[in-house]
Amino acid sequence: MWTRSATSDYTQALVDAYNDSHENQVELTVVPFDAYQQKVASAAGAGQLPDIVSSDVVFTPDYVTKGLFRDLTAEIDALPFADDLAEGHIAVGTSTDGKKYAVPHDIDLSAVFYNKVLFEKAGLDPDSPPTDLAGWFEAAKAIDGVEGADGFYFGGNCGGCMLFTTWPSIWADGGEVLNDDGTEAELDTDTAGSVYDQYRTAWEDGLAPEAAQTETGATFGTAFTEGKIGWQILGAAGYGSFPKNDTLDVGIAPVPGIDGGESTFLGGDTLSIASTSDKAAAAWDFLSWTIGDEAQIDVVAKSGALPSRTDLADNEYSEADPNVAELSRLVSVGQTPVSAAFGSTFNDANGPWTAYVRNQVFGDASERGADNDAISAALSQ
């Protein structure tokens, strides 16, 4: 089995627990994050993929389209909890003809992380956070300057950060970001324009530090960790790394739209069986075990990670922490965009998506239509 280094701790815990309780054994190889896509592509071309492949959800549709994985439709549909599996992860592993090639694995999702300490110092009620995007920017305005803090933070030069954090607001308002088959962008809409106009106004009002404009993702959560930021949309996977002290006490809320609502970008990894595997039955035994009750509760939830089944969101571990309970609940409202060209279009630092978002927040917002067309051109290649 291969997994990328960014999520290897999660995968290793499941592999260790499985190997401790099964005669069938899984050998895990951790591949450096930056080399993973090239290694998978090279191995696929040579017919040398491992039996089990973990893949970032944004790359899973490309692998499905290229025929790298075994059809698991019958096995997945036969699961008693098939309808409770994270919908976004199932969607990215489903081909255009409805066949299923992947199961959910590591779950990450975006949510508003806010600093209750700064909320209280600004005269805001930390137990009653805003429920629409305008309310969050009003909170940022109240917090900005309190003991040197900034109101909010975002990754202004990080394409991946910006789609992970801003697309949920578009979805919460009923908008879309891509068409159904992922070949065209739908970001030239009033809904999308209104969301980015809120960010632009807040930036021009000085509610975020100057570092946000050049933030590439390298220091994305640093200032929030130091208790210097009122709120920031971050990934659930990092929740356990935030301390609780005199300057930081984290609260969690869903990402809202202009008119309220709630959504989240459902990221993470899926698991698939290589189409060339001659150990498919043994591989499925592992895959199905990872999403069963025992693994999801005694390994995943116990470690503080999020179950990939919505019917297990309420469990003894989430009940112990309201923030974990809220993050677990958000799996049921998450979306994952599906496009075979997603990675090449949206993860390119010099690509059309980065140009779109920088124009919308910092540059010429009237370029929205032209930038949207450039994204569509990249998606259709």
pLDDT digit string, tens, across residues 261-301:
999 999 999 999 999 999 999 999 999 999 999 999 999 99
Residue-level pLDDT at 202: 98
Please compute, for residue 42, the number of CA atoms within 13 A of its CA located in the half-sphere on the CB side.
5
Residue-level pLDDT at 26: 98
DSSP bridge partners of 250: 115
Low-confidence ranges of the chain (pLDDT < 50): none
Residue-level pLDDT at 71: 98
What's the rounded Cα separation, in Å, for the pair 254 and 275? 38
The torsion of the CA quartet 229, 232, 234, 236, rounded to 10 degrees, works out to 80
Q: At what angle do helices 280-290 and 8-21 cross, to 10 degrees?
A: 110
Q: How far apart, in Å, are the Cα atoms of 92 and each of 146, 262, 315, 354?
A: 43, 21, 27, 23
Residue-level pLDDT at 160: 92
For residue 213, the Cα-to-chain-centroid distance in whole angstroms is 21
Total-model pTM: 0.93
